[in-house]
Amino acid sequence: MTLRIVFMGTPDFSVPVLEALARAGHEIVAVYTQPPRPGGRRGLEAVPSPVHRAAEALGLPVFTPLNFKAEDDRERFRALNADVAVVVAYGLLLPESILTGTRLGCYNGHASLLPRWRGAAPIQRAIMAGDAKTGMMVMKMDKGLDTGPVALTREVVFGPDMTAGELHDALCEVAAGSMVEAMAKLEAGDLPLTPQPEEGILYAAKISKEETRIDFSRPAVEVHNHIRGLAPFPGAWFELEINGKVERVKVLASTLGAGEGAVGEVLAEAPLTIACGAGAVRLVRLQKAGGKPLSAEDFLRGTPVPAGTRLS
């Protein structure tokens, strides 16, 4: 016996889960994802989401409602007669009519150790806060924001230099295995649910453009965590005068350095070390606007940043 599953997801993170459920032999009766967005070189093409493309490659029907306000969309969902909906980074808050629109409800794969980091950006926020571990949780969804009871937990410990992109990729695989395991237990009637604790609640707000600029007046460990939490996207950045023009430079990797100096002062060009409010940070990988990512060594070959330069 297999489950009739509606899969709901949008970004790259969701794709391994969809593919793993299909490999496990479940019947994916439909895939829901965000509508195509403007893209291409001039932003004129309607680009389908990664989940949309993966679903089409698997020969699965795809639906892309803007929301579920229309009765036709709600009725179409109910008419699928699914056993369960699996939701992984879908990007829409689901109304109660969808949450209760399958026989067994909706189960969400969330990339944190709930109730810590409920919300939109749990991977980035965990790193930016200096956490040393996170995880994947499968929970049964309710009307709240990531507040439902937990069915399965897998912890992931990560190193002090790991970026959000690297942690994202590690959690992708954990997410796929966790959801396959959870669905097997659900099918067998052996998936107990545990309410989330009332203590330790933190919200992972969406990353805003205003917080991406690097503030070198903060302690070095906070600057480092800020950089790696935003790498590779959207990218933490500073401004540097290059050939008489102030340009934005993203930092895609860093580590803690040694030394003291004025805030934002370049203490050494090789390795590229910047003084912070306390301590120093070493910049490892950089990218100029419109350029490609480069190691600090390659970046400095074309753009010298001598000791004594002040970054802002």
Whether 87 is in a domain gets the answer: yes
Whether 307 is in a domain gets the answer: no
Q: What is the pLDDT of residue 117?
A: 98
pLDDT-derived band at 1 (thresholds 50, 70, 90) equals low
- Output the domain CATH number for residue 51: 3.40.50.170
Whether 309 is in a domain gets the answer: no
Does residue 213 share a domain with residue 199? no
pLDDT-derived band at 194 (thresholds 50, 70, 90) equals very high
> Which of 203, 233, 258 is the endpoint of a domain?
203
Q: What is the pLDDT of residue 29?
A: 98
Does residue 169 share a domain with residue 37? yes
Tens-place pLDDT, residues 33-43: 999 988 766 66
Task: Taking the CA atoms of 233, 234, 236 and 239 in sequence, report the sign of the dihedral they define.
Answer: positive
Does residue 233 share a domain with residue 147? no
Percent of the chain with pLDDT over 70: 98
- Output the domain CATH number for residue 276: 3.10.25.10
Does residue 181 share a domain with residue 160? yes
Length of the chain, in residues: 312
Whether 308 is in a domain gets the answer: no
Known binder of ligand: residue 113?
yes
Does residue 252 share a domain with residue 180? no
Percent of the chain with pLDDT over 90: 94
pLDDT-derived band at 44 (thresholds 50, 70, 90) equals confident
Known binder of ligand: residue 193?
no
Print the domain residue range for 124: 4-203
pLDDT-derived band at 244 (thresholds 50, 70, 90) equals confident
* Beta strands in the chain, from DSSP E residues, in sequence order: 4-9, 27-32, 37-39, 45-47, 62-63, 84-88, 106-110, 118-119, 133-140, 150-157, 203-204, 236-242, 245-257, 266-268, 273-275, 280-288, 294-295
Distance from C-alpha of 4 to C-alpha of 26, rounded to nearest angstrom: 6
Strand partners, 294: 286
Q: Is 43 exposed, middle or buried (0-12, 13-18, 19+ CB in 10 A)?
A: exposed
Q: Which residue has the higher pLDDT, 64 or 312?
A: 64
Concatenating the DSSP letter of every residue in 263-286 gives: TTBEEETTTTEEE-SBSEEEEEEE
Mean pLDDT of 211-232: 98
Mean pLDDT of 229-233: 97
Q: Is the pLDDT of residue 140 over 70?
A: yes
Distance from C-alpha of 171 to C-alpha of 159, rounded to nearest angstrom: 14
Q: What is the pLDDT of residue 250?
A: 98
Q: Is the pLDDT of residue 279 over 70?
A: yes
Q: What is the pLDDT of residue 43?
A: 66
Does residue 281 share a domain with residue 232? yes
Known binder of ligand: residue 94?
no
> Which of 203, 235, 250 is the endpoint of a domain?
203
Does residue 184 share a domain with residue 85? yes
Number of domains in the chain: 2
Task: Taking the CA atoms of 272, 273, 276 and 281 in sequence, report the sign of the dihedral they define.
Answer: positive
> Which of 203, 223, 244 is the endpoint of a domain?
203
Mean pLDDT of 64-71: 94
Does residue 152 share a domain with residue 36? yes
Does residue 231 share a domain with residue 134? no
Q: What is the pLDDT of residue 41?
A: 67
Whether 64 is in a domain gets the answer: yes
| Spacing of C-alpha 212 from chain mean position | 16
Whether 129 is in a domain gets the answer: yes
Mean pLDDT of 259-275: 96
Whether 312 is in a domain gets the answer: no
Nearest alpha-carbon partner for 227 in 311, 300, 109, 110: 311
Whether 144 is in a domain gets the answer: yes
Tens-place pLDDT, residues 75-109: 999 999 999 999 999 999 999 999 999 999 999 99
Does residue 58 share a domain with residue 27? yes
Known binder of ligand: residue 114?
yes
Does residue 142 share a domain with residue 61? yes
Does residue 55 share a domain with residue 126? yes
Tens-place pLDDT, residues 7-18: 999 999 999 999
Concatenating the DSSP letter of every residue in 95-113 gives: PHHHHTSSSS-EEEEESSS
Quote the tokens at residue 254.
């860093």
Q: What integer best gives the mean pLDDT of the chain?
A: 96
Quote the tokens at residue 147.
């507040």
Q: Is the pLDDT of residue 66 over 80?
A: yes
102-129 CB burial, b ≥16 within 10 A, e <16: bebbbbbbbbbbbbbbbebbbbbbbbbe
